[in-house]
Structure 1
Amino acid sequence: MHIQDALGDWSDRPGPLYARLSAALGAAIERGDIPPGTVLPPERSLARRLAIGRNTVTHAYAHLRDRGILETRQGSGSWVAGARRTGEARSPRESLPVAALRNPAALIDLATAALPAHHRLRAAVAALGAADADTAAALDAPGYHPAGLPALRAALAARLTEQGLATDADQVLVTTGDQQALSLLAAHALPDRQPAVVETPTSPGILDVLHGLSVAVRGARPVTSGSDELLALIDRVRPGLVYLVPTLGPHGRVLGADDRARLARALADRDTLVVDDVSQAGLVFDQQPPPLAACAQSDNLVTVGSLSKLHWGGLRIGWVRGSAPLVAALGRAKARADLGTPVLDQVLATRLLPVEDDVRAERVAVLRDQLSHASAALTAALPEFRWLPPDGGLSLWLRLPTGTATAFSEVSARFGVAVVPGGVLSPDGLADDHVRVVYARPPQVFDEGLRRLAAAWVRYRHATDDQPVLL
C-alpha cells in the first residue's frame, strides 16, 4: 500500500500537525498497512508529498522512535521496527486518490470522472423486473458466459460496425469494466515483462495494471501533438504493449481524422500490440471519431471500450475488440479469473445500446452547459491557471502557475476538495505541473468545490519547502 493511502485523512485528527502525522503513521503500522521492516520516505521527501514542513515530519518520526515504533540509523533512514529493513527508500508511483474513500460527507469530489445514472438506464433497470423473453432466456440458462452474453457480443459488434469498424461477434470479449480488459491484455502481451509505452499523461488504470506486473513503462507526449516521438520511442524500446488514448485522454483532446489515419497506418507496421482506449468516445462534443483499427486493417490494433462513462460509473461493462484468436485467448484467461461478467448487467447493457445515440445527445448537451459555467467560474477564481477548452469528456486539465500538483492536491484535500494531481497520470511524474479537475458537476457543487480550491491555492502558494501549511 502506498504510504499516502495508508495515512488516509491524517490531517483531520486533533492536535498539532506533527502529532496528527505521528498518530496516523502509528495507526497504519498497527493495522499492518505499513509492515515491520518497511523503510519510510526521507523526511524532506514525505514533507514535499504531504505539503507540510520538514520539521513536522522530523518531529513525527522522533515521536515514533521514542515509542519504539521506528528505528533510525545515520545514512540508512528510518524503518518500522520489528523486522530487518525491507525495500529501499525510494518514491513509488503515486496512487490515484479515491474521493469516495476520504470522508465523502465533508469532501467535494472534483476528482472522480464519472456521471450519475442516466434516466434511460434507470428505466432499463426497472424494466428488468418484467418477465420478457430476453430476461427469461438469460435466467433459464446456467449463467456462465466467460466471453460475454451472446446477445451483448452481437450488439457490440453491430455498434462497432456502424462506427466504421467491421466486427463479428467472435471478435468481441465482454469484460467487467475496462480495467479488467486492460489487465487481460497486459498479461497476454507482456508474459516476460517486456517494457510498455504509454502517453504522458495517460489513464491511471493502465499505470496501475503495469505497476502491478512490475513492467518498465516509458512515456511519450500525447499523440494529439504529433506521432513522431511516439513512433521513435516504440522503435527504440520495442515494447510488448503500447497503450494510447487518442480520444479524450486526460488532456481532453481528440486526434484529428488525418493524423488518426496516419498514426494507425504507422502503428499497423510495428510488431507490438497497440491498445486504443475509446472508453470516453461517447462524450465527444462533435462527431464521434472512429477507432484506430477502423483506419488500418491489422490484427495488432486492439480497441477497448466501456459503457461506464456514458451511461453510469456503476455499470461495470467493458469490452475488447480484436482478432478472433486474440479474443478467444483472452476469454480463456477471463474464465480462469471470474467465469464471466454478471449476466443481469449484460442484459441491461444490451437494452442500452439501441438508445445510445439518444443518451449521448442528452449527455453532451448537459456537459456543454456545465463546461461553459465552469470555464467562467475558473477564470474568475483562479486566473493564474491555464487550460485549453476540451473536445469533450468530463474534466479540465489545468496547469499550475508554480509548484507541484501532488503537494497542492494534499492541501486541497485538507480544504475539503479532491482533485487529481497530474503526477499520478504519468509513468515518470512529468505531468505534476497539472491537475485534473472534473467540471461535470451541478453548478452549485462545482462552485463550492472551486471556492475551496481557490482558498487552498492561496494557502499553498505562500508556503515554502520549510514552512508547514497550517490550517
Structure 2
Amino acid sequence: MNVLEAVGGWSGNPGPLYQRLAQAIAAAVSRGDLTPGTVLPPERGLAASLAVGRSTVVGAYDQLRSQGVLVSRRGSGTWVAGADRDAGASGRGPDGRASAPAALPTAALDTSSVIIDLATARLPTATAVREGVGALGGDLMDHLLERSGYSPMGLPELRTAVADRFTEEGLPTAVDQVLITTGNQQALALLTGLCLGPGDTALVEDPTSPGVLDLLRSMPVTLRSTRSLAGAGADPLIAAIGRNRPALTYLMTAGGPEGRVVRDTDLLHVGSALAGVDGVVVEDTSSRHLALGPLPPYLAARTASEQVVTIGSMSKVFWGGLRVGWIRANERLVQRLARAKVRADLGTPLLSQALSVWLLQRLAQVRDERAAELRAKLAAAAPVLAAHLPGFSWAEPQAGVTLWLRMPHGTSGPFAELARRHGVAVVAGDSLSADGAGDGFVRVCFGLPPAVFAEGVRRLGRAWQDHDRTDRAGGATADESFGVSVSAVRDYGVTLHG
C-alpha cells in the first residue's frame, strides 16, 4: 500500500505532529498495511507531501527507529523492520515506476477528527427515499419476502425499470442487456476484472474518478490518460485510443471532477471513430441526472459499436446508502459479467432493489428538485469562495455536486493535508489524475448546507494563507493543530466526522 494512503488521517492523532505521524506509521505497520521491507519516502519528500517541516518527519522516524519499527542505513534509506530492503517491497508499481498517491480521498473517510467534509461528493438524502421506505409495506413486501432472496442478474422489476429508463431517454434497451450491480464501484470492478488482462492498456481521462484509478493501479496493466472529453473535445481522446489501442477506456460524460457535460457533436465524433475499435469503452453516467441543463445523450446512442458499455447508479441522485447500480451492454457481455458477479456476492440486496424500482418511477420529479437544490447552493457558494479564496479560479459546473478549483500556485497534495489540520477535508487533484496533471487543483463538494459549506471554505481560506506564506518562503508549515468547536459545527444540522 502507498505510504501516504496508509497514514491517511494521521494528523488527527493526539500530541505533537511528529508523535502523531509516528503513531500513524506504527499503526499501519501493525495492521499490515506497511509490510516488512516497505521503503518509506525520504524525510524531505515526505515532509513536502504532508505539508510539515522536515523536523516532523525526522522526529517520527527517530522515534520509530528507537522502537525497532523502522530501520535506516546510509545510502539505502529507511524501511519497515523485519525484512531486507528489496525491489519487491520498494513501493513501485508493476511497470517499475513509483506508486502514485492514494487514489481514494482518504480525508473523506477519516473518522478520527472533527472536520467539515468538502471531499465527499454527495447531496443530502432525497426526500423521496424516506417516502419510498414507508411505501415498501403490504403486498409489495409480502411478494418480495416470498422469494429466495438471491437475484444474480437483478430483480426483474428493476432490470425492466432500468431498461425502460434507457429507452425513454433515447437509448433503446432490452431487459437482457441490463445487469444490476451492488453500486457503481462493483460495476467498475466487474468490468475491469473481466476486460483487462496482464499487460493490457487502460485509458482514462485526466482528471477522472478516484474509484477507477484505485482499481486500475491494483492491476498488472499499463495506465494511460488523455485530456477529458468534456473539457478538450473529441480529438485528443480519439488520438489516444488510436495511439494506445486500450483494452478498456473509461469516460465520465457528465459531472466528472470538472463538472462538465460532453457536447453532442463530440459524442457523435467519438461514436463514429469507434467503428472497428476492439477495446471496451465504459461510459459512466452516475451523475448524468444531476445535469443543470437538458439531459445529455448517451454515447451508446451515438455509435453503431457494441463495444460501448454504459454504467450508472442510484447513489448520486437519490442516496449513496442504496448501493444499487447497473451495467448496460450487449447480451453476451452481460451474461459473462453476471457469472463474475455471482462469484462476488450472489446478487444485490433485494430490499434496496425494490426501493430503487419505486424511486425510478419518480426520477423526473427528483431530478427537478435536485437541479433547483444545486442552483441554490451554487448561488450561495460563489460569494463565499470569492471572499475567502480570491486567488482561486473555477468554472460553474454543468452537472454534479463538485467544484474543480485551480490553485494560484503550489501543489494540491500538501495543501489538502494542511487543510485537514485546519479542520476541512478536500480532495487533492493529483489523486484524481493518472499522470499528475491535476496537481494544481483541488476538488470540493458544495452539496452541504450553505452555512456548513461557508465555514468549510473559511477554514480552507485560513489553510491557504498558511500554505501561501510558507510556499512563497520556500519552507514548510509550522507544526500546529487546529481548534474546532464541535457543538458550533453540529448546530448546522449535519453529522460531521468524529
Distance 2:12 2:198 in 1: 44
Question: Equivalent residue for 2:119?
Answer: 111
Asked whether 1:203 is paired with 2:209, we answer: yes
Question: Equivalent residue for 1:27?
Answer: 27
Question: Equivalent residue for 1:333?
Answer: 340
- Structure 1 residue runs of 5 or longer lacking an equivalent are none
Query: SS of the counterpart of 1:164?
Result: coil
Instruction: Say whether the 8 Å CA contact 1:405–1:423 is kept in structure 2.
Output: yes
Distance 1:153 1:270 in 2: 28
Question: Equivalent residue for 1:12?
Answer: 12
Q: Which stretch of structure 1 is more off in the superposition, 297-306 or 35-44?
A: 35-44
Distance 1:467 1:365 in 2: 43
Instruction: Report the identity percentage.
Output: 49
Distance 1:242 1:89 in 2: 26
Asked whether 1:470 is paired with 2:476, we answer: no
Distance 1:397 1:247 in 2: 14
- Deviation for aligned residue 1:89: 5.2
Query: SS of the counterpart of 2:399?
Result: coil
Q: Which stretch of structure 1 is more off in the superposition, 84-93 or 245-254?
A: 84-93
- Deviation for aligned residue 1:105: 6.2
Instruction: Say whether the 8 Å CA contact 1:177–1:316 is kept in structure 2.
Output: yes
- Quickly say closer, same or farther: Cα 1:257–1:470, change in 2 above 3 A: same
- Deviation for aligned residue 1:74: 2.0
Question: Equivalent residue for 1:75?
Answer: 75
Instruction: Say whether the 8 Å CA contact 1:193–1:213 is kept in structure 2.
Output: no
Asked whether 1:424 is paired with 2:431, we answer: yes
Asked whether 1:448 is paired with 2:450, we answer: no
Could you tell me which amino acid in structure 1 is paired with residue 188 of structure 2? L
Q: Return the match for 2:390 from 383, 386, 397.
A: 383
Distance 1:12 1:114 in 2: 23
Distance 1:89 1:352 in 2: 45
- Quickly say closer, same or farther: Cα 1:143–1:30, change in 2 above 3 A: closer
CA RMSD of aligned residues (A): 1.6
Asked whether 1:218 is paired with 2:220, we answer: no
Instruction: Say whether the 8 Å CA contact 2:313–2:326 is kept in structure 1.
Output: yes
Distance 1:237 1:321 in 2: 25
Could you tell me which amino acid in structure 2 is paired with residue 82 of structure 1? G
Instruction: Say whether the 8 Å CA contact 1:460–1:469 is kept in structure 2.
Output: no
Distance 2:360 2:19 in 1: 54
Q: Which stretch of structure 1 is more off in the superposition, 58-67 or 113-122?
A: 58-67
Please list, as runs of the form range in 1=range in 2, the aligned pairs for 1:288-307 lying within 5 A after superposition: 288-307=295-314
Distance 1:191 1:138 in 2: 39
- Structure 2 residue runs of 5 or longer lacking an equivalent are 93-97, 481-498
Distance 1:377 1:105 in 2: 24
Aligned residues: 469
- Deviation for aligned residue 1:62: 2.3
- Quickly say closer, same or farther: Cα 1:12–1:152, change in 2 above 3 A: closer
- Quickly say closer, same or farther: Cα 1:165–1:239, change in 2 above 3 A: same
Could you tell me which amino acid in structure 2 is paired with residue 56 of structure 1? T
- Quickly say closer, same or farther: Cα 1:30–1:184, change in 2 above 3 A: closer
- Quickly say closer, same or farther: Cα 1:16–1:201, change in 2 above 3 A: same
- Deviation for aligned residue 1:392: 1.9
Please list, as runs of the form range in 1=range in 2, the aligned pairs for 1:263-342 lying within 5 A after superposition: 263-342=270-349
1:227-266 C-alpha deviation (Å, 9 max, x unpaired): 2222222112111000011211110011112222122221
Instruction: Say whether the 8 Å CA contact 2:108–2:119 is kept in structure 1.
Output: no
Distance 2:109 2:293 in 1: 35
- Deviation for aligned residue 1:100: 5.2
Asked whether 1:148 is paired with 2:151, we answer: no
Distance 1:72 1:427 in 2: 31
Please list, as runs of the form range in 1=range in 2, the aligned pairs for 1:241-260 lying within 5 A after superposition: 241-260=248-267
Query: SS of the counterpart of 1:258?
Result: helix
- Deviation for aligned residue 1:99: 4.1
Distance 2:302 2:30 in 1: 55
Q: Which stretch of structure 1 is more off in the superposition, 4-13 or 379-388?
A: 4-13
Could you tell me which amino acid in structure 2 is paired with residue 257 of structure 1? D
Distance 2:334 2:460 in 1: 45
- TM-score normalised by structure 2 residue count: 0.91
Distance 2:192 2:227 in 1: 21
Could you tell me which amino acid in structure 2 is paired with residue 204 of structure 1? P
Distance 1:355 1:310 in 2: 11
- Deviation for aligned residue 1:108: 0.3
- Deviation for aligned residue 1:63: 2.6
Distance 2:144 2:109 in 1: 35
Instruction: Say whether the 8 Å CA contact 2:299–2:308 is kept in structure 1.
Output: yes
Query: SS of the counterpart of 1:275?
Result: strand
- Deviation for aligned residue 1:88: 1.6
Asked whether 1:88 is paired with 2:96, we answer: no
Question: Equivalent residue for 1:60?
Answer: 60
- TM-score normalised by structure 1 residue count: 0.96
- Deviation for aligned residue 1:381: 1.1
Query: SS of the counterpart of 1:463?
Result: helix
Distance 1:345 1:124 in 2: 10
1:19-64 C-alpha deviation (Å, 9 max, x unpaired): 3322332333234332221111111221111011223212321232
Instruction: Say whether the 8 Å CA contact 2:183–2:323 is kept in structure 1.
Output: yes
Instruction: Say whether the 8 Å CA contact 2:274–2:305 is kept in structure 1.
Output: no
Q: Which stretch of structure 1 is more off in the superposition, 114-123 or 334-343?
A: 114-123
Question: Equivalent residue for 1:120?
Answer: 128
- Deviation for aligned residue 1:304: 0.6
Question: Equivalent residue for 2:409?
Answer: 402
- Quickly say closer, same or farther: Cα 1:158–1:394, change in 2 above 3 A: same
Question: Equivalent residue for 2:49?
Answer: 49
- Deviation for aligned residue 1:340: 0.5
Instruction: Say whether the 8 Å CA contact 2:203–2:250 is kept in structure 1.
Output: yes
